[in-house]
Every structure is written in structure tokens, then in C-alpha cells.
Chain A
Amino acid sequence: DQQVKQNSPSLSVQEGRISILNCDYTNSMFDYFLWYKKYPAEGPTFLISISSIKDKNEDGRFTVFLNKSAKHLSLHIVPSQPGDSAVYFCAAVGDQTGANNLFFGTGTRLTVIP
């Protein structure tokens, strides 16, 4: 039962342009969402998060948008840089779904072309 879905396994973007990574979820009990970035041979590293009481959180080049009614969130990276090339995972968690149980999507591989 995949409660968090990333339907695009890969995305290619030109350097300097915007990268938009999408994520959908099914469980309305989730109240916190996170994006992780993973380089080869390394573990996922935390990138940015958003609480369900907000619809936008911005940190430098990274912005996460949350649309609760659509159960959809997206990560915007602008401007995209070659060093952003990695696999991006979205994750969801909630007190009522297990505060330590991060539900992950399958990831989207972003390639930023110089």
C-alpha cells in the first residue's frame, strides 16, 4: 500500500531553469512532509520540510508547496544547478501514523544539464 507516490521516476532540466518535483499522498492523517536528497553511495539527507498547517516553505533556492485538498506537494528548485543532480525522495509522517515512521515515495532522479 503505497501511501506516498512520486509518479515521475526521472526529470532532466537545464542549468539555471526551474526544477519541479511532485509528490502525492493518500493518507489525510499525515501532518508533516519532508524532502530528502540522495547522492549515489550515500544515505538520504534532509533538504526541506513543511507542516500541514502551512502551504509554502522556502529555504534559499528550495521551496516546497503543499496543497492539502489535492493531497499533493511539490519541490521547486530555482535556479537549478548541476550539483542538484540526485535522487529526491518525499516523505510523510504524522503522530497518528507513527511519529517515527517516515513513509517514503519511490524517488525522482533529477539530472541538471550544464
Chain B
Amino acid sequence: GAVVSQHPSWVICKSGTSVKIECRSLDFQATTMFWYRQFPKQSLMLMATSNEGSKATYEQGVEKDKFLINHASLTLSTLTVTSAHPEDSSFYICSTPGLVIYEQFFGPGTRLTVL
């Protein structure tokens, strides 16, 4: 399957700061990438779909001004958590479409802790 990387793998920041998470597709070009979030003891939830060269589409209840997504190239999408607060502490994971219908390749995830 495709190789998807994320950076950083974990980050701790102070409340009010912004954090950028990178998602890279290492071995193929991805016009679409997906961003998920997982709170403790809950399931992965789709936050937004990142589209290369155009605006991201956000799921209901996700603030687009707080979670800025940029998909500037076919191999890189970034998620910026702006003015992070402790309630934003979560596991953020990205994915790309797979080779068969509905399949997705996931990155290893980024653990964000906001103090």
C-alpha cells in the first residue's frame, strides 16, 4: 500500500499557540487527503477532506477557521490547529485514497497535547 508519513509524531504546546501538522504521501501523488481526529476512548472521526489546489471541505461541527488545511502540492497537506486549547488535545491522523474503492492509507498519526 501507499506510504503516508506525518510530522511531528507528537507535540506538546501551550494554550493559545498554533501547531502545524504535516501529512506527506511518499510514493504517489494524492489530489485528496483526509484528516481524522480521535479523542481518548472514541473512534476516529473525519474532520475534513483536503483537496489539492482548492479549499478543503469540512465535516459538520468542525471549525474551518480553527483547523486550517492547506494542500499546496500533490504530496503534502498540512493541518494547522490555531490558538490551540486543552480541549483540542487529541490524536490527529491523515489518510489518502487507496487502490480499491473506499480503501484509505493512513499515516501514523500525531499526538497533540495542549497544556
Contacts and interface: CB of A to CB of B under 8 A. Distances in A.
Interface of A: 2, 4, 32, 34, 36, 41-46, 49, 89, 93, 98-107
Given A34-B103, A107-B43, A45 B1 contact: yes
A104 B98 contact: no
Contacts, number: 58
* B: interface residue count bin: 20 to 34
B67 interface: no
A41 B110 CA distance: 9
A43 B108 contact: yes
Nearest to B46: A101
Interface in B18-51: 32, 34, 41-46, 49
Nearest to A9: B41
Given A34-B102, A34-B103, A102 B9 contact: no
